[in-house]
A = this chain, B = another copy of it.
Amino acid sequence: MTSVTSSLWRKLIAFQIYGANTGVGKTVACAVLGKAFLTRYPDWQINYLKPVSTGPTTDADDKYISRYTGHKADCIFQFSDPVSPHIAARVKPPSDQQVLGRVSEELFKHARSVITKGKYGITMVETAGGVLSPAPSGSLQADLYRPLRLPVILIGDHRLGGIAATISAFESLTVRGYDVEAVMIFESGKLGNTDYLMKFFNTHKLPIFELPALPPAGDISTLQESMVSYYENVSQTSEISRLAQHMVDRHFVRLKNLERMAPEANDVIWHPFTQHKGRADNSILTFDSAYGDFFQTYPSPQPVGYDHTPEESRPIENNASLLQSAFDGSASWWTQGLGHGNPELSLAAAYAAGRYGHVMFAGAIHQPALSIANKMLQGLENPRLRKVFFSDNGSTGIEVAIKMALKASSTRYGWGNDSKNVGILGLKGSYHGDTIGAMDCSEPSTYNEKVEWYHGRGYWFDFPQVKMRKGAWVVEPPTGMETNFGQRQTFKHLDEVFNFEARDSTKYETYIEEVLNRLIKSEGRKFGALIMEPVILGAGGMIFVDPLFQRTLVNVVRKLGLFHTPFKQPLASTEIRAGASSAWTGLPVVFDEVFTGLYRLGRFSAASFLKVHPDISVHAKLLTGGLLPLCTTLASQSIFDAFISDDKADALLHGHSYTAHAVGCHVANVSLDKMGKLQQEKMWQIFQQSWQISDSSSTVTWSMWSKETVTALSHKEQVDGVVALGSVLAVSLYDESGSGYTSDVANNLRDALLRESHDHRWIIHSRVLGNVLYLIASMTTDGETISTVEKLLLTKLHDVGNSL
């Protein structure tokens, strides 16, 4: 879904009225409140807005409100049938985007009006029916309005059964991340709803305000009269007056919290990977919330990289609130798959929390853990993998993988105490995580060389890279290595790069064997595992490795006899029976799919691009759809068997307290099901079409980023090369300064994307790695959003180019 900015202005206090059920008196409550605001703040501009109304127009809520209060009241969509909006609007229902857009517009008009007049204002937005009543489109109303995330007054149900209805409605709002700020309820007499709810909501620090019962319905003429006096009296009670004040107070508390968050954070938060020297408060991004692909950010008064002026002084034709929508261009550090604030994931988390909380996993099993284990084993379609180990994040998952692999090789090759000196084989520029064991799998780099206990243990190969240059895909050796890897090759389609049958791997084979022979035979070094991120090295700078090189490396490493012959311990008989298809040979091969796996590159398994089966495979980030940490490390039987012994201490000695926590596992199950469904239902077909090769029925590689834009980017003079696969786009910029990690060019583009454009409502938050600016979408980002991001990227790149 595209973005609607959460509505927040300093001078316009907008909130939403939800009902615990239909018929609980929402409209009467609005009228009482409207009159109370008028009484308390006679100079303010009071507005009432009913986005969707059903039933006869003569009776409509907006008319009722203006009759009894005298202030402005409008209805946007009016349907005459007195049924649920999704039935009433059955013929030609407005879309969620239309409803949301119109509400947003109206709110802006109100804001502009109060700002212009130098006044304050109130806008009450009354919903229809209960919290989860269907919108015209059929969406649940509370989902439809969620992007606005207006503060809520919940009108409780004062009738029999109303306690349950009110609390359930409150929970449905809470599950969707709404802030309920007050409960209003008609007096319920001997039913005692108010008393009960007051006590109950007190634990949520939520105040409740009681309305006197309506006057008894007499004949129509006296009714109107008695309602007039009802509103007159009730709106002036101290109870209602307190409520009016409370809503105003809460508004300013929210503003104050948003304002002080960045400076307070600068004071107490030690941020990851951040040099704090001289850091300004306004360099810290404040999140009010997030929804779908968008953050709702609160810019600091004079933020770096922002050009967001206070509402009072900015041009009023600029349709913006105090909050700024920012496309989450890093997919929140590569985690997002199903969008922020996804109500299904939210409910899934709550279900597992309610059913289990956390239950310890030593010698135990629960359904969510077993299901996700099976799902991973099936989804990866790697016949080697048989066992699933849980940990908390990619880094710990890699530590587990390393313990697995080293034990297996150390046992088979009988290294004994020598095993402390064993290293791993990897690729230059790889990165596997921040714990010491994971760090030691990477060659020295900016990320690790200043860490006291880090010491890279292994050897890291050079390799040829893939990128698009001037419209063509090239496979390019590192400078000076043409003799080893061959000259630069050019391909029309990326698929051809993955056509391993048609390509020649001889040079790669020879090179790898030479290097290994030198290291092992001449230098006597020991290696216990090959570890790689398949296809794209993430933290290393979104480097697209020639897949043929990775595939060849695996094949060479797996050659029996290349390593450490003769074996001290031959393949176990079970392994021989299982055959080479499942037992590891040469070295255990570990694939770090933490970033690249689970649809990030468009497929469940990133290994499948290489057509090789690792012995150990690590998966995190997208595993929970982007909600919370969880990691699985999968291993083959022959790896597992290395730990089988009569000695308990030969077991894999690893396990965090929250290993396989039920909340993570269940959310992962729901997430993988959802993403699998996106694939089955061909939701990515619109993206795939752009990459379809006309004379081919199947597409090996595709991206959510269009071929047109990727090609256009690759022709820009600032651009060295572009990479696009699945939801990942990475633009490598020429960096004259050659400063790498802190490239100015990429930073300039990033900052430009963060600046508001006069013709666009939202901005793009992105991250850079050296001279590479990358963008990562969710797996649910729609075509319209993608193409808007692409347009903004091209424009800003142009601007940055001109300003150089």
Q: Does A209 contact B (CB under 8 A)?
A: no
Say yes or no for A356: interface residue by CB 8 A criterion. yes
Contact of A287 with B by CB under 8 A: yes
By a CB distance below 8 angstroms, the chain B residues around A342 are 353, 357
Do A134 and B161 touch (CB < 8 A)? Answer: no
| Contact, CB under 8 Å: A340 / B356 | yes
Judging by beta carbons under 8 Å apart, are B176 and A357 in contact?
A: no
A227 at the interface (CB under 8 A from B): no
- Whether A275 contacts B134 by the Cβ 8 Å rule is no
A271 within 8 A of B: yes
- A190: chain B residues at CB < 8 Å are 83, 87
Chain B binder among A42-50, A360-368, A555-563, A709-717:
A360-368
- In the complex, which of the residues B23, B268, B347, B386 contacts A387, with contact meaning CB atoms closer than 8 Å? B268
Cross-chain contact B332 with A643 (CB below 8 angstroms): no
A680 contacts B by Cβ under 8 Å: no
Min CB–CB distance A416 → chain B (angstroms): 11
A656 proximity list for chain B (CB < 8 A): 272, 393-395, 433-434, 629
Residues of B within 8 Å of A453, CB to CB, are: 402-403, 406, 420, 437, 440, 457
**A283 located at the interface, meaning its Cβ lies under 8 Å from any Cβ of chain B in the complex:** yes
Is the Cβ of A357 less than 8 Å from the Cβ of B374?
no
CB distance from A609 to the nearest CB of B (A): 22
Majority-rule SS of A interface residues = mixed
**In the complex, A455 has a CB within 8 A of chain B:** yes
What separation, in Å, do the CA atoms of A170 and B792 have in the docked complex? 42
A270 and B658 in contact (CB under 8 A), knowing A165-B165, A177-B354, A364-B286? no
- A residues 53-84 touching B (CB-CB < 8 Å): 83-84
Minimum-distance CB pairs A-B, first 8: A272-B655, A130-B164, A177-B355, A22-B161, A436-B437, A177-B354, A340-B357, A265-B365
A485 within 8 A of B: no
| A 370-408 to B, binary, CB cutoff 8 A, 1 in contact else 0 | 100110010000000011111011111001001100110
A92-100, A117-125, A505-513, A644-652: which one contacts chain B?
A644-652
Contacts of A661 in B (CB 8 A): 627-629
CB closest chain-B residue, reference A389 = B270
A560 to chain B, nearest CB (A): 22
C-alpha spacing A403/B434, complex, angstroms: 10
Bound-state CA distance A673–B578 (Å) is 55
Residues 598-643 (chain A) with a chain B CB within 8 angstroms: 620-621, 626-629, 635, 640, 643
Could you tell me if A356 and B177 are in contact, using CB atoms closer than 8 angstroms? yes
Extra pairs beyond A164-B169, A268-B388 (4, CB < 8 Å): A133-B164, A268-B370, A286-B365, A353-B627
Residues in chain B near residue A635, CB distance under 8 A: 270
Closest to A263 in B: B365
Asked if A357 contacts B269 (CB within 8 A), the reply is: no
- Is A334 part of the contact surface with B, judged by Cβ < 8 Å? yes
The stretch that binds B, out of A309-317, A444-452, A496-504, is A444-452
Residues A354 and B175 in contact, CB atoms below 8 Å apart: yes
Chain B CB within 8 A of A663 CB: yes
Q: Does residue A108 face the partner (Cβ distance < 8 Å to B)? A: no
B residues less than 8 Å from A161 (CB atoms): 21-23, 129-130, 133
- A433: chain B residues at CB < 8 Å are 656
Report whether A363 and B164 are in contact in the complex, using a CB–CB cutoff of 8 Å. Answer: no
A343 on interface, CB distance cutoff 8 Å: yes
A363 to B279, CA, bound (A): 10
**Which of chain B's residues has its CB closest to A287's CB?**
B366
With a cutoff of 8 Å between Cβ atoms, the chain B residues found around residue A321 in the complex are none
Q: How far is the CA of A389 from the CA of B268 in the complex (A)?
A: 9
Residue A131 lies at the interface, judged by CB distance under 8 Å to chain B: yes
Chain A, interface size: which category?
A: 35 or more
Q: Which residues of B contact A454 (CB under 8 A)?
A: 420
Q: A455-B420, A648-B275, A651-B273 are in contact. Are A356 and B399 (CB under 8 A)?
A: no
A672 shortest CB reach to chain B, Å: 15
A283 partner residues in chain B, CB cutoff 8 A = 363
What is the minimal beta-carbon distance from A189 to any residue of chain B, in angstroms? Answer: 10
Q: Are B353 and A346 in contact, CB atoms less than 8 angstroms apart?
A: yes
Instruction: Determine the chain B residues whose CB is within 8 A of the CB of A457 once the complex forms.
Output: 453
Query: Does A419 have its Cβ within 8 Å of any Cβ on chain B?
Result: yes
A701 contacts the other chain (CB 8 A): no
* Chain B residues within an 8 Å CB radius of A257: 367
A676 within 8 A of B: no
A554-589, CB < 8 A from B: none
| Pair A160/B373 contact, Cβ less than 8 Å | no
User: Does A138 reach chain B (CB closer than 8 Å)?
Assistant: yes
Given A190-B87, A277-B645, A453-B457, verify A628-B358 contact (CB < 8 Å).
yes
Residues of chain B with a CB closer than 8 A to A335's CB: 358, 360, 657-658
CA distance A290 to B663 in the complex (A): 13
Contact A369 B269 (CB under 8 A): yes
- CB proximity of A25 to chain B, nearest CB, Å: 13
Proximity string of chain A (1-42) to chain B, C-beta cutoff 8 Å, 1 when within and 0 when not: 000000000000000000001110000000000000000000
- B356–A290 contact, CB under 8 A? yes
- Cβ-closest chain B residue relative to A356: B290
Q: Name the one of B131, B273, B393, B652 contacting A362, with C-beta atoms under 8 angstroms.
A: B273
A435 interface contact, C-beta 8 A: yes
CB atoms of B452 and A269 under 8 A apart: no
In the complex the two chains form, is B21's CB within 8 Å of A164's CB?
yes
Pick from B277, B344, B649: contact of A741, CB under 8 Å:
B649
Residue in B131, B393, B664 whose beta carbon sits within 8 Å of that of A396 in the complex: B393
Per-residue CB proximity of A465-491 to B under 8 Å, as 1/0?
000000000000000000000000000
B332 and A358 contacting across the interface, CB-CB below 8 Å: yes
Task: Report the nearest B residue to A405, measured CB to CB.
Answer: B452
Given contacts A171-B347, A334-B657, A451-B653, contact A262 B164 (CB under 8 A): no
